């Protein structure tokens, strides 16, 4: 069996350090209300303990993501395989399920090799269109999948040739909705990216799909209000009135970005702080705190493959993760209409669902 690569560039982002269920569910645009009581039974602390008890040393990075110290996803995959072997779980390799249907009180599972009759069936296939189609035949409601966790294509004079510049505390908002998010943002060759953008794409996944990924995003690059920005500019006017504006960015704004803002605000290279007036300050404020970007499309975040959609959560009994219509059919992970922002949260929902199902199946 070859090396297993899992999200995080092959490192395997096991979970997130957030473990308080009330805080943890804030990272799930869909499924948060169903997951809170589940996380009270098995949260991210429990996931970490489970792997550490089986010899996997873990580390927490500055953004809260938890990885194996080895930085190798095989550490996780091998541990799961060893545990399955210890529990005498039979794994059929090179075997693909091509269909399944109820057969009395059991399940008939059709594979590429032979048919299997099982007392119960657990589906943890992720976002699989083939599985969703099969589940529809069982009279289960499937919420149509749409992309989540993506970056935005945008063109604006402010962004030209400035790819790589980032802002740690920005705010982004879709003007036609009430959805906004805060956090780091990054200028890319195609537009904007970063955690704030990814979170926005997740929480507004369906609205953006309906808009065909064409809308206007308002960006506050600094995450502050106009009063704070004006105070910083006035301070420069009072303390450094003869200094050229273009050479003295306020609020630790990256210099190349500041120079572009000055250019678009009609502040010439030789203009000093004593010479800028209300008109220039108003333009600076608009570009820095209320910058409207026309979004023309999206790109998939390279390390994430997440969709919003799947089995309607009303079909599931979250005490057991069993399907209400079929008490011996269980589901966990992204086959359900549950998804999260980036950071190990999608894995945590899967670990929790899997643990609860395991308790039902074997006690």
The neighbouring-strand residues paired with 244 are 272
Q: Where are the beta strands (DSSP E) in the chain?
A: 15-16, 58-60, 65-68, 97-103, 106-111, 115-118, 121-123, 142-148, 150-154, 166-174, 180-187, 191-193, 215-220, 291-300, 306-311, 316-317, 322-323, 326-331
- End-to-end CA, the chain: 30
For the beta carbon of residue 318, count every other beta carbon within 10 angstroms: 17
SS3 label, residue 26: helix
Domain-wise residue ranges, the chain: 15-94+140-145+305-362, 150-300
Instruction: Compute CA 200 distance to the chain's CA centroid, rounded to the nearest angstrom.
Output: 9
Tell me the C-alpha distance between 177 and 239, whole Å.
41
pLDDT in tens, 44-87: 999 999 999 999 999 999 999 999 999 999 999 999 999 999 99
The neighbouring-strand residues paired with 102 are 107
Where do we find the tokens 């195609």?
Answer: 190
Tell me the C-alpha distance between 286 and 208, whole Å.
25
- Describe the crossing of helices 32-41 and 345-362 by its angle, rounded to 10 degrees: 60
Q: In the prediction, which pLDDT does 9 show?
A: 52
Tell me the C-alpha distance between 80 and 359, whole Å.
17
Q: In the prediction, which pLDDT does 7 show?
A: 45
For the chain, percent of residues with pLDDT exceeding 70:
95
pLDDT in tens, the chain (363 residues): 334 444 445 778 999 999 999 999 999 999 999 999 999 999 999 999 999 999 999 999 999 999 999 999 999 999 999 999 999 999 998 999 889 999 999 999 999 999 999 999 999 998 899 999 999 999 999 999 999 999 999 999 999 999 999 999 999 999 988 899 999 999 999 999 999 999 999 999 999 999 999 999 999 999 999 999 999 999 999 999 999 999 999 999 999 999 999 999 999 999 999 999 999 999 999 999 999 999 999 987 555 568 899 999 999 999 999 999 999 999 999 999 999 998 999 999 999 999 999 998 886
Mean of per-residue pLDDT scores for the chain? 93
Comparing CA positions, the residue from 99, 88, 90, 86 lying closest to residue 125 is: 99
Question: Please, is 113 exposed, middle or buried when counting C-beta atoms within 10 Å of its C-beta (0-12, 13-18, 19+)?
Answer: exposed
Comparing CA positions, the residue from 119, 287, 283 lying closest to residue 218 is: 287
Q: In the prediction, which pLDDT does 160 show?
A: 96
Question: Please, is 229 exposed, middle or buried when counting C-beta atoms within 10 Å of its C-beta (0-12, 13-18, 19+)?
Answer: buried
pLDDT in tens, 304-330: 568 899 999 999 999 999 999 999 999
| Choices 3.90.1300.10, 3.40.50.720, 3.50.50.60, 3.30.1330.30: CATH for 15-94+140-145+305-362 | 3.50.50.60
Q: In the prediction, which pLDDT does 50 show?
A: 98
Question: Please, is 298 exposed, middle or buried when counting C-beta atoms within 10 Å of its C-beta (0-12, 13-18, 19+)?
Answer: buried
Longest dimension (CA), the chain: 87
Long-range contacts of 97-105 (CB under 8 A, 24+ apart): 99/134, 100/134, 101/137, 101/138, 102/138, 102/326, 105/328
């Amino acid at each position: 069996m070859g090396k297993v690569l899992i999200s995080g560039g092959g490192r395997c982002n096991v979970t997130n350090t957030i473990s308080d269920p009330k805080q943890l569910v804030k990272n799930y645009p869909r499924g948060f209300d169903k997951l809170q009581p589940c996380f009270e039974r098995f949260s991210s602390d429990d996931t970490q303990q489970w792997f550490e008890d089986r010899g996997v040393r873990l580390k927490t990075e500055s953004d809260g993501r938890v990885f194996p110290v080895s930085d190798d996803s095989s550490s996780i995959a091998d541990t799961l395989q060893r545990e399955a072997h210890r529990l005498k779980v039979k794994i059929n390799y090179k075997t693909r399920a091509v269909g399944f249907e109820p057969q009395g009180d059991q399940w008939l599972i059709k594979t590429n090799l032979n048919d299997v009759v099982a007392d119960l069936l657990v589906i943890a296939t992720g976002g699989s269109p083939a599985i969703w189609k099969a589940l529809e035949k069982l009279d289960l409601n499937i919420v149509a999948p749409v992309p989540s966790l993506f970056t935005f294509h945008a063109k604006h004079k402010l962004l030209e040739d400035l790819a790589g510049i980032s802002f740690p505390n920005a705010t982004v908002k879709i003007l036609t909705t009430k959805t906004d998010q805060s956090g780091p943002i990054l200028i890319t060759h195609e537009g904007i990216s970063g955690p704030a953008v990814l979170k926005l794409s997740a929480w507004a996944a369906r609205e953006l799909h309906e808009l065909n990924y064409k809308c206007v995003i308002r960006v506050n690059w600094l995450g502050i209000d106009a009063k704070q920005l004006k105070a910083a500019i006035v301070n420069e006017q009072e303390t450094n009135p003869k200094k050229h504006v273009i050479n003295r960015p306020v609020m630790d704004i990256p210099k190349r970005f500041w120079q572009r803002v000055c250019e678009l605000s009609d502040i010439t290279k030789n203009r000093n702080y004593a010479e800028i007036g209300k008109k220039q300050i108003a333009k600076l404020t608009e570009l820095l705190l209320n910058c409207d970007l026309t979004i023309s499309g999206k790109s998939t975040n390279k390390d994430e493959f997440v969709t919003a959609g799947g089995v309607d959560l009303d079909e599931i009994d979250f005490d057991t993760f069993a399907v209400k219509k079929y008490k011996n059919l269980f589901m966990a992970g992204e086959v359900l209409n549950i998804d999260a922002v980036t950071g190990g949260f999608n894995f945590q929902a899967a670990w929790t669902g899997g643990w609860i199902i395991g308790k039902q199946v074997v006690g």
